[in-house]
Amino acid sequence: MNIRIGILTAPQIEFEQREHTFLLKNVRIGIGFHWDRHEDQEFAGTLEIRRNPDGTQTAINTIDLEDYLCSVISSEMSANSPMELLKAHAVISRSWAIRAMEHPNHEGFHVCADDHCQRYEGLRRLNERAVQAVRATAGQVLTYDGKICDCRYHKCCGGRTEIWRTCWEDIDVPYIQSVECPYCNPAYFNHLPLGGGREGLFFLNDYDQETTDFHDWQVTYTAEELSDIIRTKSGIDFGEITDLIPLHRGPSGRIDQLKIVGTKHTEVIGKELKIRLWLSRSCLYSSWFEVEKTLNSQLSIFNLHGHGWGHGAGLCQIGAAVMAAEGHSYEEILNYYYPGTRLNEKMRK
């Protein structure tokens, strides 16, 4: 089963064909997020360059689904992570990808290579352990009521996971429930002997390790800075922002309706991703935050005291890595974050 991945769109794709692989130059990753950057990346499979109506080009990679998964799990997390974490990730990434192949999120290919879909950063971060995890779970998917699950996941829930309707459509997805997650808190896992003496955040990939305040964070703006950011990101002139009022939160604490009060304009916005995008030059770690307004030598200051990294629905990657390091099996991890689901082996080749 082959999957088609749109890797990048640019005025001119720069690439180098190698013996069994190809190299793509200047691939942008983490688009719009705080880890946004460019990398050269190497891929297996075939490369097709599509010319778009607007004159740009798109690089599309076609590759076997199982080979795609090896790269995905070692892009999402470090391939040095505990094996049971890699196996859990292989199952959810496979389940998600099969659904995306049936209902593509993009025109002309099934999935993109960035955080919008799943990270797929080619061969650079890949090692034998990622391959082993994908082979050990070959064909396994997560199902609920006989159907393949839409396995959403995120980096760090912040203490409790979120439900579907806080992030996306107003529906109840029975296996995306809010569960308590003590595991992703450094105060919890820093005391544990993880991964045979390896320290700290070894389960995160290289550039994710730059983010260390993922569980509890703080962002501070003057009213002037905040007003400027919101004007730039929304395209609307709110005047000076005088208040941010959370009107509704999901069960984790993530805000899905936020009232932005300005001297010229007031508006209620949501859901969680829009709030994160409008309140940061890149994107806030999450929409779970308390707003504290203070006055500092006549300057109005907004302090956002936040928790977690990502939308919070489904599997908490850091929590799952810590569960695996504590000795939980991948079945236990999947059952914990997707209650009521079953591991189904029907897809085994």
- Interface residues toward Zn ion, by CB under 5 A: 105, 112, 116-117, 157, 181, 184, 316, 319
How is residue 12 written in tokens? 């001119």
**8 A C-beta contact, residue 238 and residue 260:** yes
Specify the residue, 112 or 149, whose C-beta has the smaller distance to Zn ion: 112
Question: Would you call 87 exposed, middle or buried from its count of C-beta atoms within 10 A (0-12, 13-18, 19+)?
Answer: buried
Among 73, 7, 70, which Cα is nearest to 40's? 7
| Distance of closest approach, residue 101 Cβ to Zn ion, in angstroms | 13
Q: Residue 195 CB, nearest distance to Zn ion (Å)?
A: 18
Task: Output the smallest distance, CB 76 to Zn ion, in A.
Answer: 14
Question: What's the closest the beta carbon of residue 156 comes to Zn ion, in angstroms?
Answer: 6
Q: Which is nearer to Zn ion, 204 or 230 (CB)?
A: 204
CB of 214: closest distance to Zn ion in angstroms?
A: 10
Q: Look up residue 74 and give its two tokens.
A: 């070692």
Cβ-contact 55, 157 below 8 angstroms: no
Shortest distance, CB of residue 312 to Zn ion, whole angstroms?
8
Closest CB to Zn ion among residues 96, 238 = 96
Separation CA 143–CA 147 (nearest Å): 5
Measured from the CB atom, the residue of 131 and 181 that comes closer to Zn ion is: 181
Indicate the residue among 73 and 241 with the shorter CB distance to Zn ion: 73
Cβ nearer to Zn ion, comparing 226 with 313 = 313
Give CB contacts under 8 A, 24+ apart, made by 285-290. 285/34, 285/211, 285/214, 285/217, 285/309, 285/310, 286/158, 286/254, 286/310, 286/311, 286/312, 287/254, 287/255, 287/256, 287/258, 288/158, 288/249, 288/252, 288/253, 288/254, 288/255, 288/312, 289/219, 289/255
